Amino acid sequence: MPDITLNIPDRSDEMQEIIGYIPNWVIRWGVSIIIVSLVIILMTSVMIQYPDSLTAKALINAREQPQKVTWFTTDPSVTYEPMVKDAQNVVVGDTLVLENDPKNQKVNVLKARVSGRTYLLKGVDNNPKAWMLLVVPKVNNFEVQLKLPINGAGKVKKGQRVLVRLDAYPHDEFGFLEGEITEMVPVSIDNYYRANVKLTNGLVTNVGKTLPIQPLLQGSAEIMLDDKRLSQRIFGTLF
């Protein structure tokens, strides 16, 4: 069989040039798109205002606080006798507990200092023999206080918006309370600054849920400080 030789010219270099060639219009459009994108991002960052915030501890205290009476037997000769039952309503001056001490022929009378509903509890403070009697008054008034960290507390001013999230009521289900700073205490106490807050809608959250009034509620607060443009935040961290 005769040998057949194919004369195929070596054009690999030319093919590589064609494959690697990028038209000028593609380069121009690519650069234009990048520049336009950067301009849009820069304009957006200048237009958008992003509020600076400070996180603090929040306390909602009722002005009418419960009365607590605790007792446990250390001397068998001394006895304690509750004079009220659980879930009973009492008024100021009612006798709560009698303490009998036969040795000294002494009877101590513990009376109610507040009016409210009684809660009789056994086994408190890791002591199964201890008893506690609580008189919980009806809460009509409360105040909201913030404990501000020293770092950044100087930015907090009267009138700033506050979002309060309570530990007992997760914000993803109950939402948060809204308010504003009404007063700043200019002296640090126990490494915290204090601020008073007025709730805009009372104990009604942003999703329309009314939280029950309790003697004490704890949580966190986010204070909205002066608004800053997004560009200030971006470039402020770079320089």
CA separation for the pair 65, 213 (Å, rounded): 12
Does domain 50-63+141-236 bear CATH number 1.10.10.10? no
Model confidence at 230: pLDDT above 50:
no
pLDDT, tens digit (0-9, with 9 covering 90-100), for 168-214: 999 999 999 999 999 999 899 889 999 999 999 999 999 999 999 88
Report residue 73 CA to chain centroid gap. 41
Q: Looking at 122-229, list the stretches that DSSP marks H as alpha helix, in order from N- to C-terminal side.
A: 171-174
Model confidence at 21: pLDDT above 90:
no
**Strand (E) or helix (H) holding 32:** helix 24-47
C-beta neighbour count of 85 within 10 angstroms: 8
Q: Residue 32 half-sphere exposure, CB side, CA atoms within 13 Å?
A: 6
Domain ranges for the chain? 14-47, 50-63+141-236, 67-136
Fold of domain 67-136: OB fold (Dihydrolipoamide Acetyltransferase, E2P) (2.40.50)
Report the pLDDT averaged over residues 112-127.
87
Under the banding of pLDDT at 50, 70 and 90, the label for residue 19 is low
CA separation for the pair 187, 89 (Å, rounded): 41
Residue, of 131 and 34, whose pLDDT is higher: 131
Report the pLDDT averaged over residues 102-107.
84
pLDDT given for residue 206 in this prediction: 95
**Strand (E) or helix (H) holding 99:** strand 95-101
